[in-house]
Structures are given as C-alpha cells and as structure tokens.
Amino acid sequence: MATLSLALMGTRAGSAQSLPSGPLELANGQVTVAADIAATIGARDDAAPPECPRRCGAFFNYTDYEHNALRMFRVSFSGAWRPSRRLAFLTEIRSEDRERFRPYALYVRVRPWTTHAFDVQAGRIPPVFGAYSRHVYGPDNWLIGQPLAYQYLTSLRPSAIPASADDLLVMRGRGWLARYPVGSPASGPGVPIISAYQWDVGIEASVATKHIDAAAAVTSGTLSNPRVDDDNDGRQISARVGWKPVVGLVIGGSYAHGEWLNGALRDSLSSVIHSGQRYPQEAFGLDAEYSRDYWLVRGEFIRSRWRLPALSSPFIHGPLDATAAFVESRYRFTPRLFAAARLDGLRFSRISGEKVFSGVPTTWDAPVGRVEAGGGVYIQRNLTVRAVVQRNWRDGGFIHKRTFVSGQIAFWF
Amino acid sequence: MKLMHALTILTCAALLLGSAQREQRSRTVTGTIRGRIDVRTSGTTELRPDVAALGMHAAHDRPDRRRSVVYLETAPRGAFDPSEEPRASMDQLNENFVPHVLPIIAGTTVDFPNDDATYHSVFSLSKAKPFNLGRYAAGRSKSVRFDQPGIVRVFCDIHSHMNAFILVFAHRYFTVTDDDGRYRLPNVPAGSYTLTVWNETVRGDAPRRAIAIAAEGADVDADFTIR
C-alpha cells in the first residue's frame, strides 16, 4: 500500500476559468445580468493635416454617437427578468468613452403560446433588418471595426437638408460634420445606412420554424435614424425572412420603408412642397452566412434609397441611392487562436450640380472602400485580445486614404 | 531438444506465476466507500440575457449541477495498471452536454456526437487538454484522447450556455453520484486515504475526509454537504 500520485495533479475547478464565466443571477434565476467590456486603442481618426481647416480628419470610423470605433472604451450591461416562460423584460445600458450610460434596449418579450415559436416584442427593440446589427458585440464581431453600411456616416441628415444639388455635393466625404442651408443651422453628423449603435422603438413579431425565420416590425424611426420619439408622424415597416436550407447555411432577405425626414423641417417647407408629400428611407438587403469546421463566412448586400425635397436649382432629381456590400470570414487555427478579415464597400448614385464639379454627374457622397484584417487570442473563453489593420479609401473629402492599427481587449460574462 | 524443454518449463513457470499473482490479487482485502453528497446550491444557468434576439431562446435542457465526483486523492499501488484503451462519450443533446460531468481515467478517448439539429462547435482552453473540434452537424461525431490528469472545461463556441466538465484521473478510484447524490466506490484496498468531493459549485478548497479501510476489509460511510 503506497501513495503513488495525486488523482487530479492538484488541479482545482477554479483554475479552468479564473474570471466569471456566466451571468449573475438573482431572484432564484429569474433575473440575469451580464456585461460586455471592451477597451480599444488605436490612432486618432480626427487628426488634421496642416492644410486642412479645423477638425478635418478622416473620420472613417466615427459612429453616430461621434465616437471612434477603433479607439473606444465601452461598457455595457444587459439584464433579463423572466417571470414566466411566456414573458421576459430585457434591457441593455451602455457607456462609450466613459460618458453616461444610455439605454440601448428596453423592451418586453411575450410568447403567447409556449408550444409555438411565435414571439412579440415591444419597446426599444433589436432591428429585424439584415443580420449584422444583431451581433455587433463581443465574440460575435471577430474584428474591431464595423461594416461601412452599419457605421460610416454619410452626408445626409434628417434635420437639415441641402437646397440644391450643389449644397449636397459640397458635403461629399464630410458625413462626420455636415451642414446645410435648410433646417437645423448647426453642423452635425450624418447618418449611416443602418445604425448599429441605436435601436428603434416599436413593436415586432417573429416566428421560427426548422427552416424559416421571419420577423416584421413597426417602429417610430428608420434604419438610418432610429428614434425613441416619433418626430415625423411616420412609421417604418421592416421585415426579414431567413431560410436555413441545411445546417450551417442561412440566407436572408430584408426590406424596410419609413418616413425619414424630420417632421418640423417638413412642416417648415409646406409653402414649397406638396402637402402630404412623404420623404422616406427605403432599403432592401440580402444576407448570408455559411459555416463548416473551422470556417465561418458571412456577407450582406444593402441598397438604401432616400428621398429629399427638390427645393432650388440645380435640383436633386430622383432619390439618393447608397449601395453597400461586405463579406467577412473567420478561421480558428487552434482552440485559442483565430484570424479574420472583412472586405467592404460603399457606393452612391450620381447627381449633377452646376458650380460644384462643373455640372459633371458625380456621386452625391464619396465612395468608400475598406479592408480590415486581424487576429485574436482567447485568453479564456470570455476574454479575448485582438489586433487589426484597417485600410480605408475614399474618393472625396479632405483625406482620401488612411491606414489604422488597432488593438482590443474584450471581456464578457 | 534441450532448448525446447527449457522453453516449455519457462512458459509453464510464467503461467503458474501469473496465475498465482491473479489469485493473490483476487484475495486482496478490499472495502467499499459509500455515502451521499448533499448539494444545496444550484449554481448558475449560464444563459445570458439574449437582448439582441428576436424571440425567446429555443428550449434547451439544463445541466445537472448536483452531480459530484468522489475520488481518492491518493491511490493504492496497482491503480495505474494499464488495461484496454477506455472509451467514453459526451453527447450534445438539446443544447446541453450529456453527461454534464464526466470522470475518466487518463488515456480515455471521449467521443463527442452531435445529436442536435443544429451545429455545435466543441472546444476547451483547459491546460490539461486544449482542443477545438470545429463545427459539425447532427449525426456526426469527433473524438479526443485525454492523457493528462486535470479538469477540462468544455464549451460550445456557438451556444455560450453549453458547458461541461471532464475530470481526468491518474487512477481508477473515482465515481460520480447518482440522481439522489449517492455514490459507491468499491474494491478499495485496505489502507488510509483522503476521500475528496468535486462539485462545480464549490468555491475554494474541495471537501475532503480521511478514510481508513480496515485490514480485514469493511464498508465505510462518508456523507458530505455542499452549500
């Protein structure tokens, strides 16, 4: 009889995960609280070369809350209270760059029949359009930057508009701080095609089967301008249908249509535009995701169309179109190590001015291209360190090209 | 011919010696350690608030966190004798690893069949055995051999609430509790041991107790309460 070996070699359960790995639980599991914390470092995106006027940086990665996606400290807490199997209350609050916490999501989820995957959500709800806006965070975003369609600020603003095509063309590539003669006189950021940083208020219903997911929503804002309050008495209708023909493949199609122009601005123009005339944002999108073994590939194609009043010559004839597409992929080499890349583009329709560009038809905003590639390491399951290199091209604005290097440490539980 | 005779004698001697050793082993005095582990904490659900989802999360089974593993911290001689290569299975069923706790002996190959209609991606970052099986669909299985003793925490890369534990032991003196928390560790040779309980809800030092199997062999009762 002899002592030969420790059975588990002195290993304890705690050594497998040294930081919390699951959500906090209260009220006997009815209430769960989780957190996402990400610290991102990178070069400034607003640095101006000497020949530029004040604040004429590149602003390739500015978000609609005027923060740099590649240089941000973000803390978010999410919570759920599930008093029953049919009812849940969910919320998320978030702070970026140590500013005050803002409510990002706050809604109730109801499942009328527990035997059917049919749900109704009301409040500040997740968008049904596309796929990316529902996995922006933590492990769902393999890189650090966001796709252009969901982040890049175009020169359009719902509360201030160009009177003529020249007014709009002057603002090409200046979506970070656009200014127009009609509406709000202050300079302000433009809107992305779809805001990944704000959610809309409304009601949504969804149904899921083995091969089909479908959801539709009525909300107060639009894809590019989600709103808590309704500022134009218009509603957006949006829908997405997803098809899962085989395990690992998801194909989706989305549509959205909603009044976009600020109501007060529209009313102020009642003497020059037709009564009852609507100025909506309309968009359709295709998304797909395929995964197998250690690969995951996904992409989206989005076409958005805004209508503006034609106020003075040279007139903006017809709608303003924007087309965005991206494809991204991740490969996991080892349990800890992964690499990812995204190819991204944003294009615009053409308009003709008189003084600006000498009347030559020109895209109403500056087309943008972006490549982002990088990799990361899982320190533990819910703690990652990653680094990316991002190259941007823009056919307009003060700065046409810029490369950024960014690093991030992210933890979630 | 002399060589043949010598070989025959040696073979017979070896067979007799082996038979004698087996006889002696079968006559070794052993006892059974048994008892109940009363786990009075349920642990966490691991299901994060799914704020970005468009509906209720699909129903899935919850892991049984009341299962404990009872083992001898030190093992008697002979506990490490090699046997045939052991095999075990950890299923992916209803977005849950089954069993949630799997104790095995070092050298065991564990199969990870996917019996769900969706992808799973089983991985572990544990020092004892890091592995990543990638995404594979229903009906397929991949396997991993565990050679190093330790605790291996298993996750799914797609479903963050899915997790499990594989406890890899250097010897065979371990068992897992049943639905009522009862356990039975048979054929423990006479001697003094430290009996230890592992449960995932335990923070800090694992509950343990000194146990003695008398020279004439006897059953020993050892109950534990985990709060």
**Same topology for domains B29-60+68-78+173-227 and B81-170, yes or no?**
yes
Residue type, A393: W
Query: Does A142 reside within a domain?
Result: yes
Q: How far apart are CA A60 and CA A346, in angstroms?
A: 12
Selected residue with higher pLDDT from A321 and A50: A321
Sign for the pseudo-dihedral over CA of A160, A165, A167, A170: positive
Interface subset of B 7-26, CB within 8 angstroms of A: none
**HSE value, Cβ hemisphere, 13 Å, CA-based, for A71:** 15
pLDDT computed for residue A134 by the predictor: 81
Q: How far apart are CA B126 and CA B150, in angstroms?
A: 9
Q: Where are the domains of chain B?
A: 29-60+68-78+173-227, 81-170
Query: Does A132 reside within a domain?
Result: yes
Query: Does A285 reside within a domain?
Result: yes
**Once rounded to an integer, what is the mean pLDDT over residues B70-75?**
89
Q: How far apart are CA B142 and CA B89, in angstroms?
A: 10
pLDDT computed for residue B69 by the predictor: 96
Q: Which residue blocks in A182-262 are alpha helix, DSSP H?
A: none
Cβ neighbours of A77 in B, within 8 Å? none
Domain total in chain A: 1
CA of A237, closest CA in chain B: separation in Å?
Answer: 16
Query: Does A308 reside within a domain?
Result: yes
Contact predicate B72/A3, CB 8 Å? no
Mean pLDDT over the full length of chain B = 84
In sequence order, the β-bridge partners of residue A258 are A281
Selected residue with higher pLDDT from A85 and A242: A242
Cβ neighbours of B127 in A, within 8 Å? 15
Of the ranges A43-52, B49-58, B181-190, the best mean pLDDT one: B181-190
Query: Does A18 reside within a domain?
Result: no
Cβ neighbours of A92 in B, within 8 Å? 49, 51
**Once rounded to an integer, what is the mean pLDDT over residues A24-52?**
84
**Once rounded to an integer, what is the mean pLDDT over residues A282-303?**
96
Contact predicate A142/A218, CB 8 Å? no
Query: Does A156 reside within a domain?
Result: yes
Split at pLDDT 50, 70, 90, the class of B15 is very low
DSSP B74: B
Mean pLDDT over the full length of chain A = 90
pLDDT computed for residue A58 by the predictor: 76
Kindly state whether A22 is in contact with chain B, defined as any CB-CB distance less than 8 angstroms: yes
Q: How far apart are CA A167 and CA A163, in angstroms?
A: 6
CA of A34, closest CA in chain B: separation in Å?
Answer: 6
Sign for the pseudo-dihedral over CA of A114, A119, A120, A122: positive
Query: Does A73 reside within a domain?
Result: no
Kindly state whether B124 is in contact with chain A, defined as any CB-CB distance less than 8 angstroms: yes
Contacts of A109 (CB under 8 A, 6+ apart): A87, A88, A89, A90, A119, A120, A121, B55, B56
pLDDT computed for residue B195 by the predictor: 95
The yes-or-no verdict on residue A376 having pLDDT over 60 is yes
User: ipTM greater than 0.90, yes or no?
Assistant: no
Residue labelled with tokens 């919390």: A20
Cα distances from A160 to residues A112, A179, A266, A304, B135, in angstroms, run 43, 7, 10, 19, 49
The yes-or-no verdict on residue A5 having pLDDT over 70 is no
pLDDT computed for residue A4 by the predictor: 39
Kindly state whether B225 is in contact with chain A, defined as any CB-CB distance less than 8 angstroms: no
Asked if B135's CB is within 8 angstroms of A291's CB, the reply is yes
CATH code, domain carrying A137:
2.40.160
The yes-or-no verdict on residue B87 having pLDDT over 90 is yes
CA of A370, closest CA in chain B: separation in Å?
Answer: 26
Phi and psi at B136, nearest 5°, equal -145, 150
Read off the tokens for A214.
Answer: 């479908």
Kindly state whether B48 is in contact with chain A, defined as any CB-CB distance less than 8 angstroms: yes
Superfamily grouping for domain B29-60+68-78+173-227: Carboxypeptidase-like, regulatory domain (2.60.40.1120)
Q: Residue B22: helix, strand or coil by DSSP?
A: helix
pLDDT computed for residue B4 by the predictor: 53
Q: Which domain holds residue A326?
A: 45-64+103-270+277-412
Split at pLDDT 50, 70, 90, the class of A48 is low
The predicted-structure confidence for A314-351, as pLDDT tens digits, reads as follows 999 889 999 999 999 999 999 999 999 999 999 999 99
Residue type, A290: Y
pLDDT computed for residue B77 by the predictor: 67
User: Any idea which of A82-96, A189-203, A399-413, B29-43 has the lowest mean pLDDT?
Assistant: B29-43
Kindly state whether A212 is in contact with chain B, defined as any CB-CB distance less than 8 angstroms: no
Selected residue with higher pLDDT from A43 and A369: A369
The predicted-structure confidence for A125-140, as pLDDT tens digits, reads as follows 999 999 998 875 566 8
Cβ neighbours of A16 in B, within 8 Å? 126, 151-153, 165
**Partner residue opposite A7 with nearest CB, options B51, B55, B72:** B72
Cα distances from A78 to residues A37, A137, A151, A246, B52, in angstroms, run 11, 12, 22, 32, 10
The yes-or-no verdict on residue B14 having pLDDT over 60 is no
Kindly state whether A196 is in contact with chain B, defined as any CB-CB distance less than 8 angstroms: no
Kindly state whether B135 is in contact with chain A, defined as any CB-CB distance less than 8 angstroms: yes
Cβ neighbours of B189 in A, within 8 Å? 1
pLDDT computed for residue B221 by the predictor: 93
Query: Does A203 reside within a domain?
Result: yes
In sequence order, the β-bridge partners of residue A197 are none
Asked if B136's CB is within 8 angstroms of A7's CB, the reply is no
User: Any idea which of A211-215, A235-239, B138-142, B202-206 has the lowest mean pLDDT?
Assistant: B202-206
Q: Is B194 exposed, middle or buried (0-12, 13-18, 19+ CB in 10 A)?
A: middle
CATH class of B81-170: mainly beta
CA of B3, closest CA in chain A: separation in Å?
Answer: 40
CA of B10, closest CA in chain A: separation in Å?
Answer: 30
Q: How far is CA A380 from the centre of its chain?
A: 27
